[in-house]
Amino acid sequence: MFGKILIANRGEIAIRVIRACEELGIKTVAVYSELDRDALHVKRADEAYLIGPAEAAKSYLNVDKIVEVVKESGAEAVHPGYGFLSENAAFVQRLEEEGITFIGPPASAIDSMGSKTKARDLMKKAGVPIVPGTTESVDTYEDAVRIANDEIGFPVAVKAASGGGGKGFRVALTEDKLKDAYEGASREGEKFFSDGTVYLERYLPNPRHVEVQVIADKHGNVIHLGERDCSIQRRHQKLIEEAPAPDFFMDEELRARIGKIGVDAAKAVNYVGAGTIEGMLQDGEYFFLEMNTRVQVEHCVTEAVT
């Protein structure tokens, strides 16, 4: 058990981590920018340190300063929360080099799941079902036409390899729409994620978006805490999450099968900590979509039912 941890975040997630630490008798260290000097997480933590100006790049993303505060405060570990440095493999490696524990997955898991093509390839090799499509980038429009016609069929989804949050996702219902979809997904990938590579998937017209909450220790033990239905979305961004998923489309056999897929996926990357396996459910078949290698905003939905 740690005696003191630093929370490299602010706002709601920092408060949630502080609350958990209070229950466990662990001292907490908050960090804050000049803008957040009077924020609740600063007042709630046992200690608080100023790490820079309002700009996140000069404060909450300032790795050198955060490491400096960890050492100054005597914290033994860092909890990243979500956003900021939570899925930054280089940050995790830096902490390891400094002898500081990162409360979360190893850098290798973050790196593997950070690219959707790499993640799909890894899951396919591990026997985890994925949406039919490519596991490598599709580098030219001509290749996209060939693969869509010969291997996947229409409608086809074109996705940015580093995309997320509804960005870098286009659908081509027919071949004459593929060029716009291919170029649009690539353009958004470059704009929002500095990565214009794309891949192709079979487009599932009426799926349920169901995710599995997993938690793992450093000894290879992985369990799931049930699923959340997050099918109510706007522009591919979640609006409402429900746990457990409603019975009108989820029976106990399917629930158990989806949970096992989540556990298998986490084991495939030697995961540690809390994470989420996102997947698509259609016609009784569940497919791995991606993994969020961090705590999420919606984890509290699962907390309420477990």
Same domain flag for 215 and 265: yes
Is 294 tagged catalytic?
yes
* Total-model pTM: 0.89
Helix (H), strand (E), coil (C) string for 221-251: CEEEEEEEEEEEEECCEEEEEECCCCCCCCC
Same domain flag for 156 and 170: yes
Same domain flag for 231 and 185: no
For residue 41, the SS3 value is helix
Same domain flag for 88 and 115: no
Same domain flag for 212 and 282: yes
Strands 47-52 and 27-33: parallel
136 part of a folded domain:
no
- State the total domains in the chain: 3
Same domain flag for 298 and 151: no
Same domain flag for 119 and 196: no
Same domain flag for 198 and 150: yes
134 part of a folded domain:
no
Same domain flag for 196 and 238: no
Same domain flag for 117 and 258: yes
118 part of a folded domain:
yes
| Residue 81 identity | G
Asked if 230 contacts 241 with a C-beta cutoff of 8 angstroms, the reply is: yes
Range of the domain at 222: 111-129+205-303
135 part of a folded domain:
no
69 part of a folded domain:
yes
78 part of a folded domain:
yes
| Each residue's pLDDT expressed in tens, for the chain with a length of 306 residues | 899 999 999 999 999 999 999 999 999 999 999 999 999 999 999 999 999 999 999 999 999 999 999 999 999 999 999 999 999 999 999 999 999 999 999 999 999 998 899 999 999 999 999 999 999 999 999 999 999 999 999 999 999 998 877 889 999 999 999 999 999 999 999 999 989 999 999 999 889 999 999 999 999 999 999 999 999 998 888 999 999 999 999 999 999 999 999 999 999 999 999 999 999 999 999 999 999 999 998 999 999 999
As a residue count, the chain comes to 306
Please report, for the domain that includes residue 235, its CATH number. 3.30.470.20
Q: How far apart are CA 209 and CA 117, in angstroms?
A: 19
Strands 77-79 and 47-52: unpaired
- Active-site residue, selected from the candidate residues 10, 16, 228, 294: 294
